[in-house]
Structure 1
Amino acid sequence: MQLVLISGLSGSGKSVALNVMEDCGHYVVDNLPSALLPQLVTHLRGAGYQRIAVAVDVRSGASIAALPKQVETLRGMVEDVRFLFLDARDETLIARFSETRRRHPLGGECSTLDEAIAREREALALISELGQRLDTSELSANTLRNWVKNFMELEAGSQISLLFQSFGFKHGIPLDADLVFDVRCLPNPHYDPLLRPLTGRDQPVIDFLEKVPEVGRMVDDIYGFVASWLPAYVNDNRSYLTIAIGCTGGQHRSVYVAEQLASHFRENARVLVRHRSFKT
């Protein structure tokens, strides 16, 4: 049996993620109190269901605080338990609520939207560390669907999953990053008119960067740091580790370095690569 738990901030895209699960053939349950999760799994297993997706969030009230303990119980009941936490910057959440004109679950006459978001973020602080955290601030619904599908394509097992993510500092640091490396000190292909419209995945940009010794040193140093500390993260019972690589615009240097690091680690870990600043 496979159980996918989806949580996160209101307005971060949980409905989109649940729809992806349903399209993939999962039995979907929205807004279930965490205390009922073991009973749900037992009941659906008896009914023959093998894939389940459940959204558990602040709408469950005080029971959400028991979710970490419930997840431990569920890992003893189900072989493949996955946890996806969706997050977004406050300004993004405010804009989304303004567009949809929907009421925040913690909103009311006595609190503003900003205050409701702050209360929800505080209530979910411990929950966000239970699994893969995904910042949806800059993602379209279609991109989010593709990233959730990638998350589901990872094989179950004890091996840690590494996510290498490029980004542009001018758009802000991703909220889901565990480690952040700044590669803005490297030569920038942006200043070459022929390379400007390309990305770090295109061969002319690759050739440009591979000619610079400092670029290779940067890749080797980041690889050495992550490889050296990876056992510590594994011993910390982490299933996912997100390594964010940033340059100015998130198009050339960070993309190249993220791709290089991903290729170095593929033999020893499950690897995903995401590029925030352009469509792939």
Structure 2
Amino acid sequence: MKLEIIVITGMSGSGKSVALHALEDAGYYCVDNLPPELLEAFIALEHAQHGHRVAVAMDVRSATALPLVPRQLKQLRQAGVAVRSLFLDASTDTLVRRFSETRRRHPLSRQVLQDGQQALVQTIELERELLAELREQSLVIDSSTLRPAQLLSYVKSLLPLPPDRLTLVFQSFAFKRGVPLDADYVFDVRMLPNPHYEPLLRPLTGRDAPVAEYLRQQAQVGQMLADVAQFLDHWLVPMARNHRSYVTVAIGCTGGQHRSVYLVEQLAQRFAGQWNTLLRHRELDGL
């Protein structure tokens, strides 16, 4: 059976341990904080002893060796290993709050000489720089607004998808709660007719039939849907040819309840037959 490996990286405090627990629950043999120098030897050993599914977490504690990882993952793919790379991220404000709440020291804190919150912010930005290359090659999950149960669900949703095929993630969100950090493309649909102003539709969402029918009848909504689909039709194939593994398309409206949800649902249906397709509703998934 083909060996599968999931490599989890990301910002300290972003939820890597939660993601690793999700994979352990799904039957993966997991190890945390594996030094990159040991990756190839570890995979060979664990494949022989524990089967065909392995997950490892690496972070900035191995900062000096992290530049090895992109080349290692490329070599593993060339050797026929099914590789997924997952990057957990969160906003700087969120990470500062999490470290303050847990009173834990950031792994890079000794490299910053100043004291207090300003030093923590600088440390987080340094970590972003060190992890930038790994982030570019991974599926990014922004955990800023996610509860642990949501993050568990997001990670588990990846597992049934073939890892050697481009994965297209459609995500709805509310601009009033900020733009998702994990978005590769962001489309603003706040100019479209808003069901919020229809009393009977206000308590519903874009997944409900009355809202979907209302939006389907709006010419502007149909044009926006066609424009986004045309853009993706044009560029997804070149990205896949360039060995791009993941693309996240975020659709935002004011409240993340109606217009963005409807468009994400429609786009996910439109592209499901061509690519691995996931859909997420940031403001609804936690309800």
TM-score by length of 1: 0.96
* Partner AA of 1:254 in structure 2: S
Unaligned 5+ residue runs, structure 1?
none
| 2:101 match | 99
- Equivalent pairs counted in the alignment come to 279
For 1:227-246, what aligned pairs fall within 5 Å after superposition?
227-246=233-252
Deviation, 1:34, is 1.0
CA distance in 1, matches of 2:132, 2:215: 40
Deviation, 1:48, is 4.3
- Please give the root-mean-square deviation of Cα atoms over the aligned residues, in Å: 1.3
For 1:1-280, what aligned pairs fall within 5 Å after superposition?
1-108=3-110, 110-111=113-114, 112-157=119-164, 159-279=165-285
* Partner AA of 2:180 in structure 1: P
CA distance in 1, matches of 2:250, 2:274: 19
CA distance in 1, matches of 2:57, 2:44: 17
Deviation, 1:10, is 0.3
Q: Answer yes or no: is the 8 Å Cα contact 2:18–2:148 preserved in 1.
A: yes
TM-score by length of 2: 0.94
Unaligned 5+ residue runs, structure 2?
none
Q: Answer yes or no: is the 8 Å Cα contact 2:63–2:130 preserved in 1.
A: no
* Partner AA of 2:66 in structure 1: I
Cα deviations across residues 198-246 of structure 1 (Å, max 9, x unaligned)?
A: 1100111111111111111110111011101111111221111111111
CA distance in 1, matches of 2:146, 2:185: 20
Deviation, 1:61, is 2.6
Q: Answer yes or no: is the 8 Å Cα contact 1:8–1:87 preserved in 2.
A: yes
Q: Answer yes or no: is the 8 Å Cα contact 2:189–2:253 preserved in 1.
A: yes
Deviation, 1:35, is 1.6
Q: Answer yes or no: is the 8 Å Cα contact 2:172–2:264 preserved in 1.
A: yes
